[in-house]
Amino acid sequence: MNAASEALLRLLVDGQFHSGEVIGNRLKISRTAVWKKLQALSDYGLEVESVKGKGYRLLTPLEFLDKEIIVDHLGRKVKGLLSELEVLTVVDSTNSYLMSRIGHDKANGRVCFAEYQAGGRGRRGREWVSPLGNIALSLSWEFEQGAASLEGLSLAVGVGVVQALADQGVDSVQLKWPNDILVRSAKLGGILIEMTGDPTGRCQVVIGIGLNTVISPLQDVIEQPYIALSQISDDYSRNKLAASLLNHLLPIVATFSEEGFVKYRSTWESVDAYRDKKVVVISGQQRSEGVARGVNEVGALQLDIGNELSAIHGGELSLRLSDDP
C-alpha cells in the first residue's frame, strides 16, 4: 500500500460519505486516480459503497491502530517489559517480520502489530486470512532452557487472550486445545508460536496472535465456521484491545520460565471448549478417539480412551469433535 492509498484509507475510516472531488483535492490526484485507488482497496478486504450525489464510504468504519494510544493504556510494569512497539500498515507476516529481526536485536519485549498481513500463517503451514482491520500481533522473547521449558506456553497465551477480551466486554470466549480461540463454537482467532536458536538451551520465541474483528470478502475461502468481534460486540476499541492483549501477554511470557503452565491450568480448563466431549486426534495417518478430559500440569491434552488417560502433546496434529466431518 503506497502513501496515497493509505491517505485515502485514513480519509474514509470514519464511514461517512466523501465526494470524489473532495478526495481528489485532498490527495492532489485526479478523479480517475481516485476511482482506481478505491477499487484497489478490495485487495485488502475492504468494501467501498458508491452513491451518486453523495460519494464514497467504507461499508465498515475502521479504527486504525495508534502506537501512542496503545502505550497510554499499558500498565506501568508492562511498559517496563516492552522494549519496542511497531505498528505497520502492511507486512507479509508479523511473525516473519519479528523472526527476521532476531539476531540483530534483543528478542525480549519486541512487539509488532500490522493493519494487514499479505502472507499470514497459521499452524501446520496453513494460510491465516487477515484482512485489513483485524488484529495481527506478534511478540518475541528469549528463553534459556530450550523447547522443553516452553510446553504449555500456547495454552497460557490463550488464557491471556481470553482475559484481554473479557477486559473489553467480550465474554463467553472458549479455548480449543492447543491454540484456537472460539466463540459460539466458531473460530475467533488463533495462536502460532515459532522458535529459533538452541532447542536445548537459549532460544528465541515469536508468539503470533490473530483475531477476527471484521467480516471481509477475503474470508470467503475459510473452510470452517468463523466469527468476528463485530458480530459479538459494537462497543470495543481495537486500540484498547491491543493494549489489553499486551497487559496480559507480556507478564505471562516474562514469568513463564519460572512459573510454567501449572499457574494457568485451572483457568484454561474453565474455558475448555471440548471438555468431556468425544473427540478425534489426528496425527498423519494415525487417529486416536476418546473423550477430552482437560489438560495436565504441562498442558498436554488428557484423552480418555477406554477409561485410561493418555497424554497428547502438541505438534503437527489436529483435534476435532467425533461427529465433525
Closest CA to 51 of 17, 8, 77: 17
Q: How far apart are CA 210 and CA 205, in angstroms?
A: 16
Q: Would you please indicate which residues are annotated as catalytic (active-site) residues?
A: 123, 187, 320
CB burial class (10 A; 0-12, 13-18, 19+) of residue 201?
Answer: exposed
Torsion, Cα 102 105 109 113, to 10 degrees, reads -70
Looking at the DSSP bridge assignments, the partners of residue 311 are 302
Q: How far apart are CA 192 and CA 139, in angstroms?
A: 11
Q: How far is CA 148 from CA 5, 138, 194, 230, 249, in A?
A: 46, 21, 14, 38, 20
Q: Per-residue b/e over 245-267, b at no fewer than 16 CB within 10 Å?
A: bbbbbbebbbebeeebbeebbeb
C-alpha grid cell, residue 204: 528465541
- Side by side, the strands of the sheet bearing 180-183 are 84-91, 110-117, 135-143, 203-211, 186-197, 180-183, 173-176
